[in-house]
Chains A and B, each alone.
Chain A
Amino acid sequence: MIVKILGIGCSNCLRLEENTRTALKSLGIEAEIVKVKDMNEISQYGIMRMPGLVVDEKVVSYGKVLNVQEVMALFNKPGQIRL
């Protein structure tokens, strides 16, 4: 699984990245976390609010710094993300 954090490097994006790492670790999910900072690439995902969270090329959240619980809930929700 590839998890991408979209954001140009402001504090919000860094916090989302941290929370995602923690959430994945406590769920025991092995995933490659990629930071996408290039505007050109970010714009391909069609989001207008930073930071964005992309799992296997699907935008699952944008414009919000999800906390650890929220990230975990996202990965546990059936239908949202297939593990």
Chain B
Amino acid sequence: MNVLYDAILKMTWLSDGIAWILTQFGLQMDQPLVISLHYFIYDTIKIFILLSVLIYTISYIQSYFPPERTRKILGRFNGFFARLLAALLGTITPFCSCSSIPLFIGFTKAGLNVGVTFSFLISSPLVDLASVFLLMSVFNPKVAIAYVSVGLLLAVIGGTLISWLKMERYVEPFVLKGGVTELDEEKMTHKDRHNFSKDQVMDIVRKVWIYILVGVLIGALIHDWIPASWIQAVLGEDKWYSVPLAVLVGVPMYADIFGTLPIAEALVSQGVGLGTVLAFMMAVTTLSLPSIILLKKVVKKELLILFVVYCTIGIMIIGYVFNAIQGILI
């Protein structure tokens, strides 16, 4: 098991291979600049390989669960179970950030409870399947499972809260107007699914490559060039304010989970608490200025504020909990 884990998710062979190539060029693997170069090349290639394989596989699964089908499935259930199901389906339903609003409208028009829709909207960017495998690669399976569990919990509780407070009052009226256009579900062959998955890989790589390069670069800087004592002075495990700081910095940022992971890894290696780092990642992926601005078009400010405040506080609590139980996870 461990051999497979090292080879496939950690890609130790890639690390060794790059080290070997660098030494062939006469570079010494004990010089700081060479170590950084090695880290940069290795991490970039590793993330791109993982990203492509994962997105392809996941898109293939996702092609069986388009939002139209998800909406139909969710329409059959009510209450807590519907919200749990929404959070789970959120992890496999394909959707890019610019589709979140049409999706919100489509779900709401079909008569789904706003709480159910929000459970879906929170879980969808936060816990997608790709992030699970990347967390396994960068940290370990225990961290990945813990991340998924609290992510789903955050989504379900958020939906429940919104439902309890009867927040449907604060949805813009135009969203509720008019009926649902039932479009024929397309019949997909295996070739269609293959093409869809291939397109998804290219689409996502085109969108996130710059975030990955910048992320790995910052990761390399943190890893080897910024003194650990500086980082610990601001974000160290013993600093109570490290979690809120990480969240407040992360909320307005818009980046992809693939770009934030190398930074997360580097920070943890420099003694920043796991919870602080995960809170930062969650804040970046769940909340961002562009998504908040989009959401503002379909809900009134009461619901928008509740959503942002709830996610911010929830993520902070998750951060503190993970910092407290870090010993068991890593």
Contacts and interface: CB of A to CB of B under 8 A. Distances in A.
Interface string B175-190: 1001111110000000
Contact of B106 (A11, A40, A48): A48
Interface stretch (A17-25, A27-35, A57-65, A71-79): A57-65
Interface in A1-25: 7-8, 10-12
B98 A39 contact: no
A81 interface: no
A48 B207 CA distance: 21
A63 B196 CA distance: 11
B83 interface: no
B158 to A, nearest CB: 21
For the complex of A and B, 8 pairs with smallest distance between CB atoms = A46-B181, A48-B106, A10-B98, A43-B105, A48-B67, A48-B103, A40-B174, A48-B102
A49 B67 contact: yes
A62 to B, nearest CB: 7
Given A43-B175, A48-B106, 9 more contacts: A8-B98, A11-B207, A39-B101, A40-B174, A43-B106, A44-B178, A49-B67, A49-B95, A65-B199
Nearest to A47: B102
A27 B175 CA distance: 37
Contacts of B182: 46
A37 to B, nearest CB: 11
B106 A7 contact: no
Contacts, number: 64
A50 B181 contact: no
B174 A48 contact: no
A43 B107 CA distance: 11
A49 B107 CA distance: 12
B3 interface: no
Contact of A48 (B71, B179, B294, B297): B71
Contacts of A59: 181, 183
Nearest to B108: A43
B174 A46 contact: no
A43 B174 contact: yes
Contact of B181 (A11, A40, A47, A49): A47
Contacts of B284: none
